[in-house]
C-alpha cells in the first residue's frame, strides 16, 4: 500500500485491476492444485463472474476511513502549529521557546496559555518554570570548576551549562541528566530549581549524547569521564530555537506526543510493530457490521469476518481493532480467543520446545537457526522436516503432508485415550505449527537482514569497481536490478504471517470437505514459503560469492515470491468466501461481549480515567 | 567493582566531618555504597526519644537516580510500610542529582515530624490515622518505646 504519502486518507476498499497473471517458468502449479482451485472456484462463485470480481484479500478488510500519521506530523499538527499561532498573537514577553514551554506545561491547551499570560503572568511564568527576567542560558568553559553532581575537579577547563538561575553543572552531568529524563515526555527542569530547560537545549544534549554513542565512548557507561569536543559548537550562548530547525524531530517532543496520546488516545492507535512510533487515526467507524448491530439492525453475518487492516506510514500493516499484526484470514474475535487460550494453556504447551529438536535418526541435538523448516542433521546428514520430523524427501514430490491433523489416525493410535487428551493434543498440534512459524519469522528476518547486508556490500563494491575500471554500465548491476530482493523479502514475511494464522483458523474450523480444501491450500502455501525460505538460507550459509548466488537465483526468487503472494491471496479469499457462504464453519461462536465497537472501547477508557 | 565515584567519596567525607545533628550514616567496610543509618525521632513527634535504624544503598547510576532507603526498625507511620519502605517524593519522582544523602535523610526525619496520611503507603495505618489521630499517635508512641530503643 502507499508508503509515500501518509497524509492521504485511504479508503481501504479500492478497486482492483485485473491482476496480471504471473507466468511461471518452473514453478507452475501442479495439476492437482489447478483441479482443486477450479473446483473451489466453481463451487464458490456459482453465480459470480470470477474474472470481474478478482479475488483479493481486501474483500476481507472492513471498510474504514483512516489517516496514517507519522509521529512528526502529529507533533507539527498538535504542538508546533499551536505554538506558531500563539506566536503570531504576540503574547507579552514571550518568544517561541517560552510559548513551547508554556504549551507543554499546560498539556498543549492554547486557552490556558492565553489566559495565564494575561491573568497573572508572574504566577504563570513561575508555574511553567520560566524566568521573570530575560532568559540567560549559558554554555561556558569554566576554570577549576567543581561540579556539584559529579564532584569532579580533575579538568582545569570544564564545559558547563546553566539556566537563568545560574545553577551550573558540567555538560557531562547535564547530558546524563537530560537523557535520563527525556523518555518521560515531561518538561525537564534545572536539577537544582524549577526552571525549565528549553526544548532546543534539551535536543542539544540529546545530540551530544548520540554523538558520543556513535563514536563509541558512552556517557552512561563511563560515568563522569566524558570529554565534550563538540559541545561548544552545539551550544551557542543563550541561543533561542531557530524556527528553521525541524522541531518535529526533537526527542522531547516525540515523547511528549507519546505521553499525550497515551493519556488521551481518541481515535489514535499506535502501530504495534516493534520500534515503530507511527500512528493511525480512524476517521469513520469501521463498517464491519458492528455499527449496524448497535443500531438494532440484524448483524450482517458476512461482515463480522471482516478485519480492519490499516497501514502505518512505515507500511506496517496491522489490525486497528486488535492492534495486532495483520492476522488475516482469522476474524478478530478468534484472535482474542486464541491469545487467551495460549495464555491459559501455556503451561501445558510449554513442553513444546520450538527452538531445539533432536535429530529423528541419530538423536543428536539440533538448533533451529533460520526460518526454513528443511533441516539437515550436522551429525548424520539426515534431511528431515522440522514440523513433522519425517524425511524431507517425502515432502518433495507429494505436497506437505505435515500440515494436516487427521483425527482418524490419532484415534486409531490412541483409542484408549480420553477425548480430553485428544482436545489437548489437537490444540498442541496447531499451536506447535503456529509457533514454529512464529519462530521461523524471527529466523527469516535474521537471515534476510544478513542477505540484504551481503547484497548491499556487493553493490557497493560493484559500484566502486565500476568507477575504477569504467566498465560499461550494461555489464554491471544497478540498484533497480536488486529491488526484487526487497520485494521477495517482504513477500516471504507476509506469506509466513498469513500461514501462521491459517493454523489458528484451522484449529477453529469444523471438519468438512471444504476444510480439507483449506488444508490443502495451506499445504501449497507452506511448501512455497519453505522453498523461498530455503533459497535465502542457502545464500546466507554461503561464505563466498553469495551475491552471485543471489543473481543466479533471481528468477527462482521472483517466481516463488509471486507464487507465495498468489497462494496467500487465494487462501485468504477462500477462507472469507467459505465463511461468508457458510461452506466453512467455525467451532467457536462469536461472543456477544466482543461485539463492542472500537468507539465504545475508547470512550470506556476515558470514562475510567475520569472516575 | 569499579572505583568509587568522586561524588560518593566527597559525600561520605562530609557526612563524617560535618554530621547532621540526630542522624548518623556509616558506610559499610565491605561495600562503600552501603550505609548503616540511624535517625533520631523529632522531639515534638510521637517518635521522640526513639532511635531508628535504616539502611541506605547507592545504586550504580547514583546520583542520576535516588538512593534506596529502608527502615530496619519497626515503625508505626502512615507513609512507611511493614517492610520499612518509605513513601517520599524525593526518593521517587522528585529526585534530582543535585540532592544528596544528607538531604534525603533530613527529608525522612522531617517526614517523621509531619506524617501525611493522605499520601499513604501502609494503607491500614493511614486509615487508623485518619479515623482516630489521637489513638494513632498513641500507638506510634508505644511502638517507638517498644522497638526504637536507643542502643
Ligand atoms: Zn558534573
Ligand atoms: Zn536552577
Ligand atoms: Zn509501523
Ligand atoms: Zn483484528
Ligand atoms: Zn542426525
Ligand atoms: Zn513435514
Whether the pLDDT of residue A248 is over 50: the answer is yes
The CA A221 to ligand 2 mean position distance, Å, reads 26
Provide the CATH number for the domain formed by A14-60+428-580 in this structure. Answer: 1.20.120.1750
- Mutation for A interface: B63, B65, B99, B101, most A CBs within 10 A: B63
With contact defined as beta carbons under 8 Å apart, do A518 and A509 qualify? yes
Q: pLDDT category, A111, cuts 50, 70, 90?
A: very high
Neighbours of A438 (CB within 10 A): 15
What pLDDT does A304 receive? 60
Which residues, other chains included, contact A460 with Cβ-Cβ below 8 Å and sequence gap of 6+?
none
pLDDT digits (tens, 9 = 90+) for A421-459: 556 667 778 888 888 888 888 888 787 778 777 777 777
Torsion of Cα atoms, A228 then A234 then A240 then A244, to 10°: -150
What pLDDT does A112 receive? 93
- List, in sequence order, every beta strand (DSSP E) within A212-286: 268-270, 279-282
pLDDT digits (tens, 9 = 90+) for B1-28: 568 899 999 999 999 899 999 999 999 9
Any idea which residue has 482492483 for its cell?
Answer: A16
Closest by CA position to A527, among listed A33, A34, A58: A33
- Mutation for A interface: B96, B101, B102, most A CBs within 10 A: B96
| Range from A42-51, A279-288, B92-101 that averages highest in pLDDT | B92-101
Q: What is the least distance, in Å, from the CA of B42 to any CA of chain A?
A: 27
Mean pLDDT confidence for A574-602 = 64
Mean pLDDT confidence for B95-117 = 93
Mean pLDDT score of chain A: 73
CATH: 1.10.760.10, 3.10.110.10, 1.20.58.340, 3.40.50.300. Which one for B6-147? 3.10.110.10
The CA A51 to ligand 4 mean position distance, Å, reads 29
What pLDDT does A448 receive? 76
What pLDDT does A301 receive? 33
What pLDDT does A441 receive? 83
With contact defined as beta carbons under 8 Å apart, do B59 and B65 qualify? yes
Q: Across the strands, what pairs with A139?
A: A161
What pLDDT does A548 receive? 78
The CA A166 to ligand 2 mean position distance, Å, reads 6
Cα radius of gyration rounded to whole Å, chain A: 30
Distance (Å, rounded) from C-alpha A485 to C-alpha A482? 5
Annotate A22-88 with DSSP letters as a single string: PP-SS-PPPHHHHHHHHHHHHHHTSSS-TTTS---GGGGBPB-EEEEE-HHHHHIIIIIHHHHHHHH
With contact defined as beta carbons under 8 Å apart, do A317 and A325 qualify? yes
Measured at the CA of A599, the angle between CA A597 and CA A602, to 5 degrees, comes to 115
Helix (H), strand (E) at residue A279: strand A279-282
B chain contacts of residue A223, beta-carbon cutoff 8 Å: 5, 61
Q: pLDDT category, B46, cuts 50, 70, 90?
A: very high
What pLDDT does A598 receive? 38
Whether the pLDDT of residue A193 is over 80: the answer is yes
With contact defined as beta carbons under 8 Å apart, do B35 and B57 qualify? yes
Domain boundaries, chain B: 6-147
Dihedral sign of CA atoms A451, A456, A461, A466 in order: positive
pLDDT digits (tens, 9 = 90+) for A359-411: 777 766 666 555 566 777 777 878 777 666 677 776 655 444 555 455 554 44
Any idea which residue has 546553566 for its cell?
Answer: A162
B chain contacts of residue A192, beta-carbon cutoff 8 Å: 96, 98
Chain centroid to CA A141: how far? 45
- Tell me whether residues A224 and B5 touch, CB distance under 8 A: yes
What pLDDT does A283 receive? 78
Mean pLDDT confidence for B129-148 = 93
- Tell me whether residues B97 and A167 touch, CB distance under 8 A: no
C-alpha cell at A223: 560515568
CB-defined contacts A:B, below 8 A = 36
- Tell me whether residues A149 and B65 touch, CB distance under 8 A: no
pLDDT digits (tens, 9 = 90+) for A39-74: 444 433 333 333 333 334 455 555 567 889 999 999
What does DSSP assign to residue A148? T
Percent of chain A at pLDDT > 70 equals 64
What pLDDT does A352 receive? 41
pLDDT digits (tens, 9 = 90+) for A298-351: 233 335 667 888 888 888 888 888 888 889 889 888 898 888 887 776 544 444
B60: nearest CA partner in chain A: A223
Task: Pinpoint the alpha helices (H) of A264-376.
Answer: 290-294, 332-349
What pLDDT does A410 receive? 42
Domain boundaries, chain A: 14-60+428-580, 73-254, 355-405
Whether the pLDDT of residue A227 is over 50: the answer is no
What pLDDT does A343 receive? 76
Q: Is B1 helix (H, G, I), strand (E, B) or coil?
A: coil
The CA A264 to ligand 4 mean position distance, Å, reads 22
- Mutation for B interface: A163, A165, A177, most B CBs within 10 A: A177
How would you label A254-279 residue by residue, b for 16+ Cβ within 10 Å and e otherwise? bbbbbbbbeeebebbbbbeeeebbbb
What pLDDT does A63 receive? 55
Amino acid at each position: 500500500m502507499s508508503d509515500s504519502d501518509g497524509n492521504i486518507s485511504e479508503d481501504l476498499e479500492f478497486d482492483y485491476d485485473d491482476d496480471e497473471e504471473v507466468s511461471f517458468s518452473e514453478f507452475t502449479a501442479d495439476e492437482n492444485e489447478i483441479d482443486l482451485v477450479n473446483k473451489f472456484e466453481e463451487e464458490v462463485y456459482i453465480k459470480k463472474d470470477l474474472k470481474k470480481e478478482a479475488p483479493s484479500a481486501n474483500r476481507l478488510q472492513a471498510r474504514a476511513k483512516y489517516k496514517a500519521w507519522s509521529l512528526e506530523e502529529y507533533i507539527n499538527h498538535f504542538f508546533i502549529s499551536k505554538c506558531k499561532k500563539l506566536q503570531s498573537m504576540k503574547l507579552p514577553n514571550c518568544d517561541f521557546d517560552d510559548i513551547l514551554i508554556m504549551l507543554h506545561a499546560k498539556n498543549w491547551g492554547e486557552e490556558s496559555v492565553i489566559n495565564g499570560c494575561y491573568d497573572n503572568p508572574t504566577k504563570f511564568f513561575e508555574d511553567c518554570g520560566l524566568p521573570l527576567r530575560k532568559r540567560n542560558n549559558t554554555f561556558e568553559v569554566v576554570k577549576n570548576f567543581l561540579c556539584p553532581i559529579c564532584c569532579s575537579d580533575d579538568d582545569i577547563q570544564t564545559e558547563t551549562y546553566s539556566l537563568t538561575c545560574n545553577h551550573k553543572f558540567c555538560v557531562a552531568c547535564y547530558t546524563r541528566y537530560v537523557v535520563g529524563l527525556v523518555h518521560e515526555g515531561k518538561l525537564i527542569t534545572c536539577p537544582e530549581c524549577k526552571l525549565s530547560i528549553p526544548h532546543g537545549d534539551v535536543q542539544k544534549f540529546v545530540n551530544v549524547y548520540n554523538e558520543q554513542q556513535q563514536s563509541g565512548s558512552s556517557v552512561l557507561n563511563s560515568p563522569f569521564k566524558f570529554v565534550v569536543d563538540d559541545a561548544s559548537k552545539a551550544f551557542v550562548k543563550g541561543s533561542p530555537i531557530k524556527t528553521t530547525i525541524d522541531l518535529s524531530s526533537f526527542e522531547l517532543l516525540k515523547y511528549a506526543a507519546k505521553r499525550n496520546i497515551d493519556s488521551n488516545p481518541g481515535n489514535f492507535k499506535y502501530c504495534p510493530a516493534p520500534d515503530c512510533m507511527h500512528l493511525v487515526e480512524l476517521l469513520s467507524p469501521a463498517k464491519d457490521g458492528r455499527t449496524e448491530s448497535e443500531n438494532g439492525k440484524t448483524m450482517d453475518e458476512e461482515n463480522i469476518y471482516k478485519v480492519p487492516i490499516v497501514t502505518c506510514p512505515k507500511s506496517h500493516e496491522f489490525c486497528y481493532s486488535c492492534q495486532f499484526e495483520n492476522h488475516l484470514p482469522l476474524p478478530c474475535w478468534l484472535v482474542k480467543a486464541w491469545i487467551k487460550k495460549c495464555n491459559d494453556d501455556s503451561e501445558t504447551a510449554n513442553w513444546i520446545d520450538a527452538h531445539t529438536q533432536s535429530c529423528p535418526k541419530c538423536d543428536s541435538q539440533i538448533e533451529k537457526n533460520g526460518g526454513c523448516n528443511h533441516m539437515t542433521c550436522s551429525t548424520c546428514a539426515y534431511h528431515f522436516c522440522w514440523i513433522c520430523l519425517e524425511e524431507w524427501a517425502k515432502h518433495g514430490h507429494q505436497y506437505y503432508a505435515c500440515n494436516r491433523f487427521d483425527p482418524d489416525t490419532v484415534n486409531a493410535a490412541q483409542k484408549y485415550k480420553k477425548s480430553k487428551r485428544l482436545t489437548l493434543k489437537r490444540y498442541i498440534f496447531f499451536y506447535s505449527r503456529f509457533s514454529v512459524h512464529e519462530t521461523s519469522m524471527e529466523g527469516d528476518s535474521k537471515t534476510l537482514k544478513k542477505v540484504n547486508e551481503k547484497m548491499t556490500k556487493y553493490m557497493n563494491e560493484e559500484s566502486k569497481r565500476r568507477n575504477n575500471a569504467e566498465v560499461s554500465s550494461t555489464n554491471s548491476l544497478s540498484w533497480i536490478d536488486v529491488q526484487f530482493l526487497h520485494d521477495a523479502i517482504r513477500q516471504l514475511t507476509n506469506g509466513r504471517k498469513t500461514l501462521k494464522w491459517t493454523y489458528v483458523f484451522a484449529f477453529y474450523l469444523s471438519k468438512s470437505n471444504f476444510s480439507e480444501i483449506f488444508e490443502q491450500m495451506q499445504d501449497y502455501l507452506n511448501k512455497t514459503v519453505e522453498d523461498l525460505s530455503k533459497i535465502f538460507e542457502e545464500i546466507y550459509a554461503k561464505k563466498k560469492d553469495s551475491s552471485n548466488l543471489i543473481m543466479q537465483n533471481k528468477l527462482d526468487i521472483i517466481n516463488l515470491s509471486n507464487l507465495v503472494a498468489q497462494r496467500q491471496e487465494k487462501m485468504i479469499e477462500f477462507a472469507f468466501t467459505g465463511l461468508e457462504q457458510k461452506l466453512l464453519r467455525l467451532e467457536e461462536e462469536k461472543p456477544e461481549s466482543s461485539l463492542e465497537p472500537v468507539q465504545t472501547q475508547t470512550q470506556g477508557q476515558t470514562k475510567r480515567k475520569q472516575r | 567493582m569499579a572505583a568509587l565515584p568522586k561524588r560518593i567519596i566527597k559525600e561520605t567525607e562530609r557526612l563524617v566531618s560535618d554530621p547532621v545533628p540526630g542522624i548518623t550514616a556509616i558506610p559499610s567496610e565491605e561495600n562503600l555504597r552501603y550505609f548503616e543509618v540511624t535517625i533520631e525521632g523529632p522531639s515534638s513527634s510521637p517518635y521522640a526519644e526513639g532511635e531508628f535504624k535504616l539502611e541506605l544503598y547507592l545504586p550504580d547510576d547514583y546520583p542520576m537516580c535516588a538512593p534506596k532507603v529502608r527502615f530496619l526498625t519497626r515503625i508505626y507511620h502512615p507513609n512507611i510500610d511493614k517492610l520499612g519502605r518509605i513513601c517520599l517524593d524525593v526518593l521517587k519522582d522528585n529526585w534530582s542529582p543535585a540532592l544528596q544523602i544528607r538531604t534525603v535523610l533530613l527529608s525522612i526525619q522531617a517526614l517523621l515530624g509531619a506524617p501525611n496520611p493522605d499520601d499513604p503507603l501502609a494503607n491500614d495505618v493511614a486509615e487508623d490515622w485518619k479515623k482516630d489521630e489521637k489513638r494513632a499517635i498513641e500507638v506510634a508512641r508505644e511502638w517507638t518505646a517498644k522497638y526504637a530503643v536507643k542502643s
